[in-house]
């Protein structure tokens, strides 16, 4: 068990570009979550998968955001036409029961 | 919708002393979980302690303990014998049992342990 991993750890992109982040959960964790964390604030829920099914999406997740978990294992989060307001830490977490395990996050900077 | 409030943006404590971080929450649920997470600088978030709302006994984990007041919707974290490695951002979080893993977080308290 190597924990939740995320790639890349840092991403700098220009406004208007598309970016994709990857999350590898702890193996056999059927639940996977994406959160966004801006400086000085707590994580905000974005979306949740149980196996490959996306069961819930926050209103924070605009049409420019899409997430997938094609085989119920790793997940990707894509942001299209990035805006400066998208600059944040994107956290992934996985769980098999009550406790969620967080990854190190991907820090996105949109210039 | 649930809300979680941490009213202390920053706190400091001397090494080996005790510090209490405050958290209040608002919910109409009767059964839920509460958590304290620790996020050290540039490192990932880890669970410190959790409390099930149906349990009256306050949770403890070594130097960490909580004071859970369900009627007052208060959930404070006490850190005893503070260590330099306790320096971190601490988040209080709320979770409904049917939404296992999906939590509502407060804005955090930055704790600095001074030598």
**pLDDT band with cut points at 50, 70 and 90 for residue B8:** very high
Contacts A–B by Cβ distance under 8 A: 57
pLDDT in tens, B71-92: 999 999 999 999 999 999 999 9
The helix (run of H) or strand (run of E) holding residue B11 is strand B10-14
State the average pLDDT over residues B2-14. 95
Q: How many residues does chain B have?
A: 115
| Cis status of the peptide bond prior to A97, with omega within 30 of 0 | no
State the average pLDDT over residues B65-71. 96
pLDDT in tens, B19-60: 999 999 999 988 999 999 999 988 889 999 999 999 989 999
Say which of B47, B50, B107 has its CB closest to residue A41. B107
Cβ pair B101:A104 closer than 8 A: no
pLDDT in tens, A94-110: 998 888 999 999 999 99
Pairing of strands B10-14, B109-114: parallel
pLDDT in tens, A45-98: 999 999 999 998 998 888 999 999 998 899 999 999 999 999 999 999 999 888
- What distance in Å separates residue A93's CA from the closest CA in chain B? 8
More confident residue, A11 or B100: A11
Give residue ranges of A with CB < 8 Å to any B CB. Answer: 4, 31, 33, 40-45, 48, 56, 91, 93-95, 97-105
Cβ pair A33:B101 closer than 8 A: yes
Chain B residue numbers with beta carbons less than 8 Å from the beta carbon of A102 are: 37, 44-46
Nearest to B111 by CA among B45, B35, B39, B49: B39
Q: Decide: helix, strand or coil at residue A66.
A: strand
Nearest to A46 by CA among A62, A31, A30: A62
Chain A residue numbers with beta carbons less than 8 Å from the beta carbon of B53 are: none
CB A93 within 8 Å of CB A6: no
């Amino acid at each position: 068990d190597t924990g939740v991993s995320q790639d890349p750890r840092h991403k700098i992109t220009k406004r208007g570009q598309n970016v994709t982040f990857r999350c590898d959960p702890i193996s056999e964790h059927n639940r996977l979550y994406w959160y966004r964390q801006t400086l000085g604030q707590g994580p905000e829920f974005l979306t949740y998968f149980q196996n490959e099914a996306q069961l819930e999406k926050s209103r924070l997740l605009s049409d420019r955001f899409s997430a997938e978990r094609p085989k119920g294992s790793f997940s990707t989060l894509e942001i299209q036409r990035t805006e400066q307001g998208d600059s944040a830490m994107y956290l992934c977490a996985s769980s098999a029961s009550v406790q969620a395990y967080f990854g190190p996050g991907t820090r996105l900077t949109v210039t | 919708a649930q809300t979680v409030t941490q009213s202390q943006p920053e706190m400091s404590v001397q090494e080996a002393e005790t510090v209490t971080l405050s958290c209040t929450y608002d919910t109409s649920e009767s059964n839920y979980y509460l958590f304290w997470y620790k996020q050290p600088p540039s490192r990932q978030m880890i669970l410190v302690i959790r409390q099930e709302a149906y349990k009256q006994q306050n949770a403890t984990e070594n130097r960490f303990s909580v004071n859970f007041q369900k009627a007052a919707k208060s959930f404070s974290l006490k850190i005893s014998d503070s260590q330099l490695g306790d320096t971190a951002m601490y988040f209080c979080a709320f979770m409904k049992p049917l939404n296992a893993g999906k939590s509502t977080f407060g804005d955090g308290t930055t704790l600095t342990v001074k030598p």
